[in-house]
Structure 1
Amino acid sequence: MTHRKLLAKVLFKKILYLGEKNYLIHRDGKIEEIGTDYSGKVRLIVLGKKYYFETLTTFPFSNIKDIRAAIKMDIPAFSPFKTDRFFIRKIADRDESTRVNLWFIDEKVYERSRDLAPFFLIPETALFSFLDEIRPRVCAIDLKDGESLFVYIGQYGAVKSMTSRHNRSNLLNFRRTVGAKAQDCPAKNIKGIEEYLALFPAILYGMPLKSLLGFTNPDSFSLNVNKKQLKMGMATAAFLFLLYTALSGLLPYYADKSLEEEDKTLSLSLSGLLKKQEMVDTYHKKQKKLAERINSYVYKLSLINLLNTILPEETTIRQLTVSGNMVEIRGTVPKASELLGALSQEKGIKKARFTSPLREDKKTGMEIFTLMLVYE
C-alpha cells in the first residue's frame, strides 16, 4: 500500500477536476478554482457528470474485447450522443453473461483536454466504485449553486448516479429510481465541493494500478506513434521509388524481368486479398449474429423513468420483471385503485391489470399488489 501511495503522489502532483466549475487539487491538499483558459500540464483529469453518460448493463459474453467490439458496432444503442470514446469496468460474471459499467465520454472534452496532455481521464462516479467502504451504500453530495449528485454503489462496485439542480430531485426519489436494493442501504452525506474534492486523492492512492490503466487516455500515446510510423513509411517509399527508377533507367533488361516479378507478386497479393475478403465476410456474419443477440435485450431505463413520473407518491416497487413487452410489477401503494388508474391513462401502457388479490401490509397499512401490463 505504501509503494502504491508513493507512485500515485509522483504521478498525480496535480489533479484537475472539470465540472460546472474547474478545480486543481494539489498534492498538499490545497484546492484551487481555475478558469476555462487553464493551459498547464496535468497527468490525471476527473470528469464531471456533464461530460459523460453512464449506464449499467449486461452482455451475453464475458470477454472485454468482445464487449468493446459489440459496443463500437452500435454506439447509438448505448449512448445518447455520438462518440467513439468510452470506458468499461467489469462488475461480475453470471453464468454466460457479464455485468459492466459503461461511461461514454463527450467528444468536446477531448478537444478541451488535448493541450493538457493527461495520461488518465476518469469519470467522477467511476471513482466511487473503488471506495473502501461498506457496500451497498448511497452517497449524497451537495455541490455549489444548488446542484446535487447522488451515487449508488452496489455489490462488486456497480455504480448508478443522478444529478439534481435546484432541488428538483431528492435522495428518496433517487432510491426509488435505483430500486428496492437501494431502499434500506446506508447513506453518506458530503457537504460542499471542498469535502467532495478531498476524497479524490484518497481514492486514487488506494486504487489498484490495473484498474487505473482501464481509464488511460489513448490520445496521450497515439499521436507520437503515428508521426513516427508516418515518417518511416514515407522514407521507405521514397527509397524504394528511387531504387526502382535507377534500375529501370540503367538496366532495361533487368527492368523487364522486374516487371515479370512484380506481376507474380501482384498475383500473390490478389490471392491474399481474396483470402482476406473471405475472412472479412466471416467476421461480418459473426458480428451480425452478435448484434442480433444484443438488440434482443430489453433495456429498462425508459420504463423506469416513465414509472418514476406517473406512479402515485409513496409507491414502492419491490420487483420489476420484463419479458418482451410484458412487464410484471410487485410492490406497495397507499391506494391500488389510484395506481391502476394512473397506469391506464398513460399512452405507452396497455392492458394494466392486477394478477393477484390485494393484501394489506400490516406494518405500513399500504396495499400489496402484483400487476401485469404491456409496455409499448
Structure 2
Amino acid sequence: MRPAEDTAEPAGGRPAATAEHRSGSAPGTGEGPQPHRSGPAPATMEGPQPRRSASVLVSGLVVTAGVLALVAMASVALGARSVPLSTVIDALLAPDGSSDHVVIRELRIPRTLLGIGVGATLGLAGALIQSLTRNPLADPGLLGINEGAALGVTLALGLFGLSDPAVYVWFAFGGAAVASVVVYALAAAGRSGAGPVRLALAGVALGMVFTAVASAILRMDAQTFDRMRFWLTGSLAGQDADTLVRLAPFMVAGLALGLTLARPLNMLSLGDDAGRSLGVAVGRTRVLTGVAVTLLCGAATAAAGPLWFVGLVVPHAVRALVGGDQRWVLPYSALAAPVLLLGADVVGRLIARPGEVQVGIVWAVIGAPIFILLARRRRVAAL
C-alpha cells in the first residue's frame, strides 16, 4: 500500500505538505535520514487517505446520525423483555403508567441517552489525543486516563462516602488530569522523547498501578465493592435520568471545546514550527486539548466506568474513511463511537437474557482483536 498523504488545507489557502515532500522513513524505524521537526511526526494511517468532497462528507455525517438514531431505537426497544416499536412510540408520546412505559421512560431512555453521551465523549477524546500527540496508539484507556478517573471516583466513594455524581465527577476530573501529566512525564524522560510506544507502555504501567490501588480500596469496604464491581467493568446499567442531567453539562462542554480545536490541530500536524508560522498558539492549543480530554474522559468514566478501546478503534476507522482532516475526523468520531457502544450494549442484553453482559466486557471482546491487528502493523505502530 502507498504511504498516506496529508490532505488537510490550513487556513490562508496554502496547501499542507504531502508525503512526497517528506524524506526518510517513519520515526522509530531506524531507516534513512530524518527531517528536522519540533516534536514527533504526525500519525497517519497506512495506505492512501481518501479525498472526499464536502457534500459527500456532509452526507456521510447525516447517514451516521441516522444509523445512530436506529441503534438508539433498538436500545430502547430491546432488552431482557423486547417491547414492540408501537409501545415505544406510545411511551414517548402518550405514557399511561403501564409497566412497559415505566421501563422505557425511567430505565431504557436514560440508559440510551447516557450511552450516546459516553460514546461521543470517548470517541472525540481518542481523536483529540491521537491528533495532539501524533500517536496512533493514543487512547484514554491505553494511556491510563480512564484508570486515573476511575481511581478518583473510587477514592470519592470508598474513602469519603461521596455518592452524588455531581460531586464525585470532580474526583474523576482530577484523576484523569493527574494520569495525563504523569504518563507524558514518564514517557518524555530520556533523550528519545515521548514516542508512541513509550507513551503506551507508560500508560499501561500507570493504569495497572491505579487499578491496583482502586482494588485495594474496594477490598477494605465490602459495601463500596458491591456498589462498584459492575461499574469498574464498564456498564451503562443502573444510572437514572438524574445522573444524566448532572453529567450532561460536562459532556457538552468537552464536546463543544474539542470540536473547536479541529483547525489548529490540523496545522500542528505539520509540526510545531510550521504551526507557529501559520499562526497557531501551540501552548494554548495543547492546554485546551488537555482540558477537553479531561472533561470528556472524567464525565464518561464517572457515568459508565472505565471503557477501553473506544477512543482507540473509532478514530482509526474514521480516518480510513474520511482522511486525516480533523474538521471531519472529530465530528465523525463523536457520531460513530456511540453507534458502536450502544450496539455493544444491545448485544450484551440479548446474549444473556434475562440477565445481561456489561458493555465493557462486550466492547473489550470486540476492541482487543482490533488493537492487536493495529499493533502488528509496523507502519502504524511505529509512527
**TM interval, short-chain normalised:** under 0.3
Structure with the largest fraction of helix: 2
The two structures have a TM-score, normalised by structure 1, of 0.22
Q: Please give the TM-score of this superposition, normalised by the length of structure 2.
A: 0.21
For the pair shown, the structure with the greater C-alpha radius of gyration is 1
